[in-house]
Amino acid sequence: MEYVVAQGAAVPKIGLGTWQLRGTTCRRVVEDALDLGYRHIDTAQNYGNERQVGSAIAASGVDRDEIFLVTKLSPRNLGAKRVAETTKESLARLGVEYIDCLLIHRPNPLIPVRETLDAMNDLVEEGVVHHIGVSNFSQSQLMEAREQSLEPILTNQVRYSPFDRKQALVEYCQIHDVVLTAYSPFLHGGILRDSTLSGIGLRYEKSAAQVALRWLIQQENVVTIPKASSYPHLKQNIEVFGFSLTDEEMARIGRPSAAKTISSTIRGFLT
């Protein structure tokens, strides 16, 4: 496993996203991921699967300190009192004593971000949260959060892939030592049959998916949390550390046309 080190935290470059994973399937997938060497697990209050994620961690035999565990506050829980109450509820469901990184799932225009961040800062002081971050924040919203929080903002979790570029945000994160956590790296599957990714993959005996993930984690301060529900896909997603893309390949992957971005997204939703 490779890590991004930022603000005193070592964040595994490949993690497991658990959105839409439920019940016994969620527990099995998380157990399989930990068995394969994943050490970064992402969940959220809104996913309804914190209990299953926690059960899988407990059953895995992996030391808790080896796992970078992330959960996210629901937008309806961003008031100061709800931040404290619902984080404690998340801890109970997860069956852990601390959360490695607690995120604001997305901004709530009805609740000042300062109020939420102050409450999250208090949880860091208590020791039940080690780091805080945000999700689905624009660059300007991230700038505001960084200005309003006493604790550093460790990460901004956003949708990011070769065909869903956010170059200005990536560069801002790199300059300010913020980790950009990329979710939906495959655009819901829409880029997996892309000829550029597949062609580059032939050189390394890797799939288009693996090339897309390698493109992400080869960038400074970028980690990614692809979702997978089968053992073969989990295994494939973590096997991206034995090769490196050339500068020319990185540039070629990173310059898709707008039409390709749209068509790849549509294909992902239709298949």
Provide the annotated active-site residues.
47
Distance, CA of 48 to CA of 196 (rounded, Å): 37
**List of residues 6+ apart from 107 with CB closer than 8 A:** 75, 113, 134, 136, 137, 141
